Structure 1
């Protein structure tokens, strides 16, 4: 680990300075971070406690400053109200879809290199401004020569190397935290980082995401109320994913849904049943269902998008989990 620390010393320092800049110098001190970086004591407690920002805001700013890996970590944490207070969750939710895009020239180069042809040979039209920019890649709308509208996700340049470095550092910091901080050991931070690392590494291979989408699509092939975008395999690789373009309203945009005449009760019922189908029946489910990944289409149709992160339950766990939910519904303490 000492060798890795030396190799990534600059990145360790970036992380420490970001924490200190936003008022978390005490964290740097407590996990022994400052010692091997030889940071002067006087800068550790140059906190921002009096700048009017909440803890949640300062955490969000640290994650934004540190880039894609940490933004992704914050996005996942934003779906865990069981672990974090509401005011921090609200701030972390702002991390979704707020990542600066990379240039269209880089997009063109990656697509052409991955698909082995000029952009104009593959697509009739290709928007140079992305629909959305996320922590690992960004999405552009395009039209195939067949006339089909598609969404093309392109992986950020050199993102795999950046993420690997950050994951190594996060695993080291988690180990330090568990050794020195009682709460970190209690929450099993190392296990959390290991699980996060596995999920994030899987997201770097878009063919895994495509297979996830098709597997979930098969669960709903006879359900017209749930829509999963089609994968265009001939235009997809590990770094480029081409899927059917889906346009809808985010599930949490209640006012827009009401204005467009959608039946909210029907939508809630349909979403709940779709989630139960994935978890309790199939044991294979969408693992990142934040509002940006669940859209409402005409006819109260619900569309799931972005299948980079999924969850699995083996038959035994699925059975016990189902039994737990049934016991809760029946208010059965013994159950």
Structure 2
């Protein structure tokens, strides 16, 4: 049943729906419209939707999907590029085609540039800038970039959003979400991968790209991360000339990493450039947990002092401490060819379906180990290994968290960049020390203490909540509020017994939590190089006495109940 809100959107966007339908039909995908249940709202002959035309095309299915995306316009191109990050959701052949999508379109007229800048910044171009090139230095689906100079003399790059692009994207996003809902209702794989959630992730990322103040903040954060790194450069943002639709940043002259021959002819050390680019990305990933997620050669340049210039901050990724541990575990598992470690990380991440065939999963991950077993560590391609892991995830319908999927694509991209600069360079040589450092940081006394305190607090919460939750469940059972198929005699007496058991269990958890806490204090006390006043107190003696009292109380409670 189609809700009135969705139906209203379909009527309102009927012209765009028809455009999409015609493009799908022209490329042999009319049957797909019928399969997801959209044919009934299209005013076209039904035979166009039900006829399968793949045989009439010399191109493969995945090549035709790429053509469809290119013909559908900027929104779908951007979403296709984002979909290329999800090797765990889409097959490798499709990912290969999506990576070929080009985000290059003709520039819009300079008169519209002038109008938009005056509208956004409140003054005409000639008042704001002493120079402003009419020809853009770059043009893409969302905006274009012009070189200019502020009245104060600074050379800047001004990024201007295309007129009406936001409305176009909003319409396409509404249609995409509608199609995803229909697909989930009619296609088993779409329901399994929760396609609406995938589209929502894309929607969130794309709308962020439309807000240039977010891109400016991303640049500022990366600039802060690398403020003490002489080998990395991030342009400064000029906030007085920046809005949601206009972004003004420092213009830095450099040579893009896309042309190795040009770099060598100019006398650059491409091996050093490759090492510095990889080092910067791994520093962002594994140390800071905030990274440039699209480090392709067009977004990286080198300056005369061999420092690396990052550009275009619309797509960034974030990793929590937990995600960084997962990533380190996967990298170390790949480096050690330890298939069991990789599977453990996947289970720990909670992304393995409950109905998975565990034996087949281990077999396929073991296949990765066999593939790389005889390959010297220095020769392993991290990008290829990541793609192989995503292929296993896709086969077993394991949905990798979007942040880690973004990491995977970033690793594949930066590995391609550095190997293009220096074919003998292996990115794992840079990755290994970062992964080792991240794992060693987990043994840091301060972090051990923090983790111990967090575990204690979690256990105390469990101990506090358990009796109440157990009482609620059992009282619901006794009142018939929870339907069960088994009759239990003397339920009231059993309820009180379960509550006593729950209380005793929670008391035991408190004792365990206290023991962990004391152990954490003692470990931190031993490992700490600069003990604070806290460690000078007789914590061990006091803790031992309290622990003995709690233990005796528990024993007496059990003895009195004859258990």
TM-score by length of 2: 0.56
1:120 matched to 2:126? The reply is yes
- 1:4-33 Cα offsets, whole Å, 9 max, x none, are 112211111111111112222222222122
What secondary structure is seen at the aligned counterpart in 2 of 1:93?
Answer: coil
1:273–1:53 CA distance, 2 compared to 1 (3 A): same
Q: When the two structures are aligned, how many residues end up with a matched partner?
A: 334
Shift of 1:229: 0.9
1:43 matched to 2:48: yes
CA distance in 2, matches of 1:254, 1:27: 43
- The aligned counterpart of 2:25 is 20
> Which string of whole-angstrom CA distances, capped at 9 and with x for unpartnered residues, describes residues 207-263 of structure 1?
111011000111111112111111011111111000112343333433333333333
CA RMSD in angstroms comes to 2.3
- Whether the aligned pair in 1 keeps the contact of 2:218 and 2:316 (CA below 8 Å) is yes
Any stretches of 5+ residues in structure 1 without a counterpart? none
Distance 1:118 1:317, change over 3 A: same
Cα 1:75–1:262 change in 2 (3 A) is farther
Q: Equivalent residues in 2 for 1:166-245 (5 A)?
A: 166-245=172-251
Return closer, same or farther for 1:46/1:133 CA change in 2, 3 Å cut-off.
farther
SS class of match (1:151): strand
Match of 2:102 in 1: 95
RCO comparison, higher one (Cα < 8 Å, 6+): 1
Larger CA deviation: 202-211 vs 33-42 = 33-42
Instruction: Decide whether the 8 Å contact of 1:327 with 1:333 is kept in 2.
Output: yes
Alignment counterpart, residue 304 of structure 1, candidates 306, 310, 316: 310
Contact 1:57 1:88 survives alignment (8 Å): no
Checking the alignment, whether the CA contact within 8 Å between 1:228 and 1:304 is kept in structure 2 is yes
What residue in structure 1 maps to residue 511 of structure 2? none
Give yes or no for contact 1:228–1:303 (8 Å, CA) kept in 2.
yes
The residue number in structure 1 matching 2:422 is none
* Deviations, residues 287-323 of structure 1 (Å, cap 9, x unaligned): 2333322223333322111111221112222222223
Which deviates more from structure 2 when the two are superposed, residues 252-261 or residues 198-207?
252-261
Q: TM-score under structure 1 normalisation? A: 0.91
What is the alpha-carbon distance in structure 2 between the residues aligned to residue 76 and residue 292 of structure 1?
17
Counterpart secondary structure, 1:303 = strand
Whether the 8 Å CA contact 1:210–1:231 is kept in 2: the answer is: yes
Q: Flag the 1:36–1:245 CA change in 2: closer, same or farther, 3 A.
A: same
Higher relative helix content: 2
Confirm or deny that 1:256 pairs with 2:268: no
Given that residues 66 and 97 in structure 2 are in contact (C-alpha distance below 8 angstroms), is that contact kept between their aligned partners in structure 1? no
Paired with 1:278 and 1:253, the residues of 2 have a C-alpha distance of: 24
* CA distance in structure 2 between the partners assigned to 1:54 and 1:107 by the alignment: 40
Q: 2:8 aligns with which of 3, 25, 32?
A: 3
